[in-house]
Amino acid sequence: MIIVVMGVSGSGKSTLACALAQHLGWDFIEGDDYHPNRNVEKMRASHPLNDDDRRSWLVRLHRLIVSYAGKGLSAVLACSALKADYRYLLGRGLADIRFVFLCGDPKLIRERLQARAHPFMPSELLDSQIAALEPPQDAVLVPVQFPTEKQVRLVRQAVAI
C-alpha cells in the first residue's frame, strides 16, 4: 500500500507522513526531496510553481512509488498533490494507493508556515497553493489542528491498517 499525505505547505504533511510511517514500520518518502533544482530555485525566489513545473516532479514520484509497489513494499509519501490531475498521475497504475488530506483553517496553516524554517518554501507561496488546491473527493480528511498522534490514529482507522 502507498499512502500519500497531501495538502498545502505548512499543513503538516511531512510530520504526519513520517509519524505514520514510523508507526507502521514503512518507508517515509519526503516528496520535496525529489523536486528538480529549477523548481527549488523558483520557489526560493518566491515564484509559485505551475503545472508544467510540477509535472516532472510528479513523474519522478510516481516512478518511485511504482517501484515500491512493484517490490511489494509499502510507503508513506508526503506530497502536496494539490490538483486532481496530480493525484491521478501519482496513482496511475497502482492498485492500492490512498490519499490523506490535511485540511483546516488557512490562518492556522499560515501561522505554522511562518514559524518554521523550510529550505525553499517561503510563506508567501501559501496563497498560490490555496488557489491551486482542488480538495479531493475520496481522501481521508484529517484536521490540521489535531495532534499528530490523533491524526495517525484517524488515518489508521480510516484505511484499516
Q: What is the pLDDT of residues 126-153, one digit of tens each?
A: 888 899 999 999 999 999 999 999 999 9
The mean pLDDT value of the chain amounts to 92
| Whole-angstrom distance, CA of residue 30 vs CA of residue 140 | 19
In this predicted structure, what is the pLDDT of residue 117? 66
Grid coordinates standing for 127? Answer: 496563497
| Whole-angstrom distance, CA of residue 70 vs CA of residue 72 | 5
CA 139 to chain CA centroid, nearest Å = 12
Note whether 6 and 139 are within 8 A (CB): yes
| Whole-angstrom distance, CA of residue 27 vs CA of residue 75 | 5
Encode pLDDT of 79-126 as tens digits.
999 999 999 999 999 999 999 999 999 999 888 887 876 565 666 778
Domain ranges of the chain: 2-158
CATH of 2-158, picked from 3.10.28.10, 3.40.50.300, 3.30.360.10, 3.40.190.10, is 3.40.50.300
Q: What is the pTM of this model?
A: 0.92
Grid coordinates standing for 98? Answer: 490512498
